[in-house]
Structure 1
Amino acid sequence: MEYIYLHGFASSPKSAKAQDIGDRFAKIQRKIKIPDLNAGDFSQLTITRQLTQIAREFPNAPVPVTLIGSSLGGLTSAHLGQQYQQVQHLVLLAPAFGFLSHWLPRLGDEEVQRWQQEKYLMIYHYGEGRSLPLSYDFVTDATHYQEELLQRPISTLILHGKKDEVIPIAASRDFVRSRPWVELVELDSDHALGNVMEEIWQAICLFCQLP
């Protein structure tokens, strides 16, 4: 089994969750890849680019893959699981289901229209600690990745905070409702999940049968 971690939107492999999970894998002497989904050019980020990038990280078949994805990385992981039979397990941390429907209204209609007209919008990048331009192509591309497409019965564990202020837990509850192969664990946390990393690790170990 090969493990790959996908960080969230405007984040990096140096995020608290990525570092925590990477350290825990190291302690049990298991390898986990944590690619940089910014790929050196955050301004041209799209979900399609993330899918292509991660698929290149897959080992030669028939080695199975487990994806652990956070937020937008969780959404990307779910679509990779739909497209590639090699993906055998998914662990989704506060997956960004309905990402555009939650995020764009927070920007406001005027800001979104300006983004569409000017092609780029400055977005605060937590990994870089500064604002960076992001192409409107990100939005156009993201509209092609709807949850209705995710119908492959792949072994899936979702861990989502009940106080999530970015992607409401209702998004994961809705996803699970029509997919009996998905398990949802609701945690007493927010979108960052920073206070429940030990609970998350125990759930990952149990689900992935790690020592």
Structure 2
Amino acid sequence: MSGRPHILYLHGFRSSPRSYKARVVHGRMAELGRAHELICPQLPASPKAAMDLVLTLAERHADKGPDGIAVIGSSLGGFYATWLAERFGCRAALVNPAVDPLKDLDKHVGVTTAWHSDEPFEFKRAYIDELAALKVDRITRPERYFLLAATGDEVLDYRDMVAHYAGAHQHVIQGSDHAVSEFEQYVDEVLAFCMTAAPA
């Protein structure tokens, strides 16, 4: 394996580093003796603030080139991961990623709570414009991407994912759900992709 990239994990909307998939990734990295190479921040509700934070965390590793960092993104985190992969030229593994969250998140404008706490979580209408600024209409290097999509996703349509990441490495799970409740079965596949040197 070349590069030994740090792994940046980006959680989904209203989620946190305490999510099931984030904990599975952390556990597997720990088993590999690489827990210290995992970056898993709590993302602010503001997409711009979230990416400002991630860039600060990632750039020290991305400066080492495409093999310095790899990104795993779940749901909205997959949308963010795509923007980062295009920016850094690094690998990105996407788990049921949001392809066009602008059309889905408008109904979530307002105050709610995060999934893993009782803390108020406000999604402001201005954040829709911030998301628009991060949208990647077409990926430029499909070989940098790995898509793990579930046909049983009850939140997002897996067919949109398959089309958006055409040409990428794809594993379409028959059934399952948005959370990919059996993610432990797939974490090794995801990490193996991330830990391989990015294509030149």
TM-score with structure 2 setting the length: 0.83
- After TM superposition, the structure 1 = structure 2 runs for residues 80-119 of structure 1, keeping only pairs within 5 Å, are 80-85=84-89, 88-104=90-106, 107=107
Match of 2:39 in 1: 33
Post-superposition shift, 1:129?
Answer: 3.7
Rounded to whole Å, the distance in 1 between the matches of 2:39 and 2:86 is: 20
**Partner SS, residue 148 of structure 1:** coil
Contact 1:90 1:154 in 2 (8 A): no
> Where does the alignment leave 5 or more consecutive residues of structure 1 unmatched?
116-120
Paired residues, what number? 185
Rounded to whole Å, the distance in 2 between the matches of 1:133 and 1:202 is: 34
Post-superposition shift, 1:123?
Answer: 2.8
Indicate the RMSD between aligned Cα atoms, in angstroms.
2.1
Contact 1:93 1:159 in 2 (8 A): yes
Post-superposition shift, 1:102?
Answer: 3.2
Rounded to whole Å, the distance in 2 between the matches of 1:36 and 1:209 is: 23
Contact 1:69 1:93 in 2 (8 A): yes
- After TM superposition, the structure 1 = structure 2 runs for residues 109-188 of structure 1, keeping only pairs within 5 Å, are 121-129=110-118, 131-153=120-142, 155-177=144-166, 180=167, 182-187=168-173, 188=175
Rounded to whole Å, the distance in 1 between the matches of 2:88 and 2:195 is: 22
The answer to which of 138-147 and 164-173 deviates more is: 138-147
One-letter amino acid of the counterpart of residue 190, structure 2 = I
List per-residue Cα deviations over 1:78-117 (Å, max 9, x = no partner): 10111123xx21111111111122343xx3xxxx8xx5xx
Kindly tell me: are residues 136 and 37 of structure 1, through their superposed partners in 2, closer, same or farther at Cα, counting changes over 3 Å?
same
Give runs of ≥4 in structure 1 deviating > 6 Å.
none
Tell me the percent identity.
22
List per-residue Cα deviations over 1:7-41 (Å, max 9, x = no partner): 11111111111111111110111121111113xxx
Match of 2:27 in 1: 23
Match of 1:66 in 2: 70
Rounded to whole Å, the distance in 1 between the matches of 2:38 and 2:13 is: 20
One-letter amino acid of the counterpart of residue 34, structure 1 = C
One-letter amino acid of the counterpart of residue 53, structure 1 = L
> Where does the alignment leave 5 or more consecutive residues of structure 2 unmatched?
none
Rounded to whole Å, the distance in 2 between the matches of 1:68 and 1:191 is: 15
**Partner SS, residue 165 of structure 2:** helix
- After TM superposition, the structure 1 = structure 2 runs for residues 182-201 of structure 1, keeping only pairs within 5 Å, are 182-187=168-173, 188-194=175-181, 196-201=182-187
Contact 1:98 1:146 in 2 (8 A): yes
Match of 2:6 in 1: 2
Per chain length, whose mean CA-contact separation is higher, i.e. which structure has more relative contact order (CA < 8 Å, sep 6+)?
2
Kindly indicate whether residue 57 of structure 2 is the aligned counterpart of residue 57 of structure 1: yes
**Partner SS, residue 78 of structure 1:** helix
Kindly tell me: are residues 154 and 49 of structure 1, through their superposed partners in 2, closer, same or farther at Cα, counting changes over 3 Å?
farther
The structure with the larger Rg is 1
One-letter amino acid of the counterpart of residue 126, structure 2 = D
List per-residue Cα deviations over 1:35-68 (Å, max 9, x = no partner): 1113xxx4xx12x222221111123421511101
Match of 1:118 in 2: none
